[in-house]
């Protein structure tokens, strides 16, 4: 299978860097943080080798890196950056600014626990805590999907003029060697045309951004931002369909796996999807009617597609590798909201699994399926290791 | 599926050993996955490298709980956590000058020892035993092929390429010879 020379064995972070190289951003502001750093290191190597023509801006903090992303993007440049955990936390103020400025930046965030205490483990709480910042959010299962999604994210972001962040998890994906197929540059050029926005900051043109506005103007601006976000559902679906036609690889904005006749459907996102696929196959072999729903696009949340996928399923079991104290698992909250009002809708179990990076095997998931099938769900998320 | 756990300490090259094995099986046309975890991100703390090899794409994103092979860089790492999932047919390869019987108290596994440190020092590699140990793994399992393994060791050695290839071959041959006894 490796006779094709575009198949390489690289870790998930380097797969992202290959995707970025194909997108050909002009400006990449960077600030290092584990476990993201191999992404920007690889980009720096590409630049040094003359394989990428890009301006790398070494900022003094992640906040400044994001400020540089916004300003570069507003001049009409294609922009990329990457971060993780504390770095994303420090960017928070600028994340709101980026979506408000309608700057279609693409950022990769490697999901890592947030201190305190200190850790380097896979946990999605960092990016999920940014869910209301007006960014498009994608979650990926493996290195190939991360590479492909970076390119899809540019396509979507530049069409709707909103920033997009793409996620995969520490270690299980970021530092895992995976076989990845690198698409041809000519195919990517066809898929992703040069970024050429209607408005841009240029002294020759004389436009500006960021003046004080009145209440009415602010209201209209927020409403427009919301409409742009809503349009992402269709735009992202179309971007994925075209990517599949071009490369043979498509992911959907959600994916149903073996959901036919399922009496329980597992819902999760990120790396745990892969493990859950094995759990579903093992259970199906034993005759247990279980399926899996992968949520790839998290913002905007694909409410209608999720409702359609789950409305006739008796039970849903959400697995969250993240935790919001006071409300529980983020995905659990989303599922309860998405399924609200469905006549005779499914009971929704919410399990906190793998929070802080604890190990979750197919056997753990199978045991939870059996438990969920024989118990009545409660409203809050339950700790399950 | 063939599953390996390589256990070392930060700075010993356990992660590189895992990456070498993954690359060799990849070149042989297999699907592979390899990743490492480390608690302290500093020299001396435990580093675990996990390698999966299969004929079909690997979807699992979790720790290896039923290893076929455990490679241990240092007997001081042979604790209950590492060995809790080892079964009777799990191959436990230990870098040690002691005979396998010395480790019988650990449990009923297929224990094999190799004095990788002596081989590494003979080849002027100091304390870098990873290339010797991957050679020994290939010798024990009869795969991956020694030729492809040496090719990968040669490509991936940052320095002392010939010495690393020689250590790999020495590790392979010593195990084959011992096994033939």
Do A22 and A67 lie in one domain? The reply is yes
Do A230 and A280 lie in one domain? The reply is no
Mean pLDDT of the A74-88 span: 98
Specify the residue for token string 């590409």.
Answer: A46
Distances (CA, A) of B38 to A85, A109, A336, B108: 17, 20, 36, 28
| Residue A343 DSSP SS3 | coil
The residues facing A294 across adjacent strands are: A255, A268
Do A124 and A14 lie in one domain? The reply is yes
Q: How many domains does chain A have?
A: 2
Do A273 and A373 lie in one domain? The reply is yes
Among chain B residues, the shortest Cα distance to A170 is held by B37
How is residue A331 written in tokens? 């995905």
Is residue A241 in some structural domain? yes
pLDDT at B177: 86
Do A98 and A163 lie in one domain? The reply is yes
pLDDT tens, position by position, A16-67: 999 999 999 999 999 999 999 999 999 999 999 999 999 999 999 999 999 9
The pLDDT-based confidence of B10 (bands split at 50, 70, 90) is: confident
For residue B180, pLDDT beyond 70: no
Is residue A1 in some structural domain? no
Is residue A221 in some structural domain? yes
Q: Residue A86's domain is classified under what CATH number?
A: 3.40.50.970
Do A208 and A282 lie in one domain? The reply is no
The last residue of a domain, from among A182, A216, A247: A247
CB-closest option in B22, B61, B63 to A9: B22
Task: Return mean pLDDT, chain A.
Answer: 96
CB-closest option in B19, B23, B29 to A1: B29
pLDDT tens, position by position, A315-359: 999 999 999 999 999 999 999 999 999 999 999 999 999 999 999
The last residue of a domain, from among A224, A247, A270: A247
Asked if A371 is an interface residue toward chain B (Cβ–Cβ < 8 A), one would say no
Query: Following DSSP, what letter does each residue of A211-236 receive, concatenated?
Result: ----HHHHHHHHHHHHHHHHHHHHHH
- CB contact set of B127 (below 8 Å; sequence gap of 6+): B12, B117, B120
The span from the CA of A276 to the CA of A257, in Å, is 10
Do A95 and A215 lie in one domain? The reply is yes
Domain B2-180 in CATH: superfamily? Pyruvate-ferredoxin oxidoreductase, PFOR, domain III (3.40.920.10)
∠ CA(B47), CA(A46), CA(A244), 5° rounding? 85
The span from the CA of B118 to the CA of B170, in Å, is 11
Do A130 and A173 lie in one domain? The reply is yes
Q: Of all residues in chain B, what percent are helix, strand and coil, respectively (each to 5)? A: 45, 20, 35
Distances (CA, A) of A176 to A9, A40, B35: 10, 17, 4
What residues does each domain of chain B span? 2-180
Do A193 and A228 lie in one domain? The reply is yes
Query: Following DSSP, what letter does each residue of B124-154 receive, concatenated?
Result: T-TT--HHHHHHHHHHHHS-S-HHHHHHHHH
Do A228 and A284 lie in one domain? The reply is no
Q: Select the residue from A143, A146, A168, A176 to test the B interface by mutation, using most B Cβ atoms within 10 A.
A: A176
Do A99 and A206 lie in one domain? The reply is yes
For residue A168, pLDDT beyond 80: yes
Return the CA Rg of chain A. Answer: 21
φ and ψ of A51, to 5 deg: -85, -15
Do A234 and A333 lie in one domain? The reply is no
Tell me the residue range of the domain where A238 lies.
Answer: 7-247
Is residue A2 in some structural domain? no
Q: In this predicted structure, which of A145-149, A191-195, B40-44 has the lowest mean pLDDT?
A: B40-44
Q: Select the residue from B6, B45, B62 to test the A interface by mutation, using most A Cβ atoms within 10 A.
A: B62
Mean pLDDT of the A242-265 span: 98
A141/B61 CB distance under 8 A: yes
Within chain A, residue ranges assigned H as helices are: 12-23, 37-48, 62-74, 85-100, 125-128, 143-160, 185-191, 215-247, 272-285, 303-310, 330-338, 362-373
Closest Cα in chain A, distance from residue B143 (Å) = 18
The last residue of a domain, from among A206, A227, A247: A247
Within B8-129, residue ranges assigned H as helices are: 14-27, 80-83, 116-122
Q: Whose CA is closest to A323, among A242, A254, A382, A364?
A: A382
pLDDT at B85: 84
Q: Residue A322's domain is classified under what CATH number?
A: 3.40.50.920
């Amino acid at each position: 299978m490796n006779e094709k020379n575009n198949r390489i064995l690289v870790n998930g972070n380097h797969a992202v860097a290959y995707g970025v190289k194909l997108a050909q951003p002009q400006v990449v502001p960077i600030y290092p943080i584990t476990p993201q750093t191999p992404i920007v290191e690889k980009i720096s190597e590409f630049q040094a080798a003359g394989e990428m023509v890009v301006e790398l801006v070494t900022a003094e903090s992640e906040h400044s890196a994001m400020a540089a992303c916004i300003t570069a993007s507003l001049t009409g440049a294609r922009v990329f950056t990457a971060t993780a955990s504390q770095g994303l936390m420090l960017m928070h103020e600028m994340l709101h600014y980026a979506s408000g400025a309608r700057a279609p930046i693409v950022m990769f965030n490697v999901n890592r626990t947030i201190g305190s205490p200190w850790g380097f483990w896979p946990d999605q709480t960092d990016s999920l805590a940014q869910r209301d910042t007006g960014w498009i959010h994608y979650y990926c299962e493996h290195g190939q999907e991360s590479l492909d999604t970076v390119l899809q994210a540019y396509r979507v972001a530049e069409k709707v003029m909103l920033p997009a962040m793409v996620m995969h998890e520490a270690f299980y994906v970021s530092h895992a060697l995976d076989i990845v197929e690198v698409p041809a540059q000519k195919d990517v050029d066809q898929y992703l045309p040069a970024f050429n926005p209607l408005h841009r900051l240029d002294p020759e043109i004389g436009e500006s951004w960021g003046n004080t506005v009145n209440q009415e103007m602010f209201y209209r601006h927020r409403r427009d931002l919301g409409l742009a976000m809503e349009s992402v559902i269709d735009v992202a679906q179309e971007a994925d369909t075209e990517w599949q036609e071009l490369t043979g690889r498509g992911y959907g904005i959600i994916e149903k796996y073996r959901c036919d006749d399922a009496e329980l459907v597992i819902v999760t996102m990120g790396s745990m999807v892969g493990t859950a696929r094995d759990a579903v196959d093992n259970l199906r072999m034993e005759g247990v009617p279980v399926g899996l729903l992968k949520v790839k696009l998290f913002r905007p949340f694909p409410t209608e597609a999720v409702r359609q996928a789950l409305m006739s399923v008796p039970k849903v079991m959400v697995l969250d590798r993240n935790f919001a104290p006071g409300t529980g698992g983020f995905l659990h909250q989303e599922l309860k909201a998405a399924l609200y009002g469905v006549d005779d809708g499914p009971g929704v179990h919410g399990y906190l699994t793998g929070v802080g990076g604890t190990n979750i095997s197919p056997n753990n998931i199978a045991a939870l399926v059996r438990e969920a099938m024989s118990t009545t769900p409660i409203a809050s998320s339950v700790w399950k290791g | 599926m063939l599953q390996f756990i390589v256990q070392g300490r930060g700075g010993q090259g356990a992660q590189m050993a895992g990456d070498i094995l993954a690359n060799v099986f990849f070149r042989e046309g297999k699907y592979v996955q390899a990743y490492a975890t480390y608690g302290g991100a500093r020299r001396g703390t435990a580093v675990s490298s996990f390698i999966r090899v299969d004929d079909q794409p690997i979807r699992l994103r979790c720790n290896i709980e039923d290893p076929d092979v455990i490679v241990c860089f240092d007997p001081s790492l042979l604790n209950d956590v590492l060995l809790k999932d080892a079964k009777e047919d799990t191959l436990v390869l230990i870098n040690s000058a002691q005979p396998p019987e010395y480790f019988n108290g650990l449990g009923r596994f297929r224990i094999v020892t190799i004095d990788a440190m002596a081989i590494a020092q003979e080849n002027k590699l100091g304390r870098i035993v990873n290339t010797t140990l991957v050679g020994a793994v290939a010798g024990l399992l009869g795969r991956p092929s020694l030729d492809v393994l040496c090719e990968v060791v040669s490509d991936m050695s940052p320095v002392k390429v010939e010495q690393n290839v020689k250590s790999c071959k020495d590790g392979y041959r010593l195990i084959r010879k011992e096994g033939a006894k």
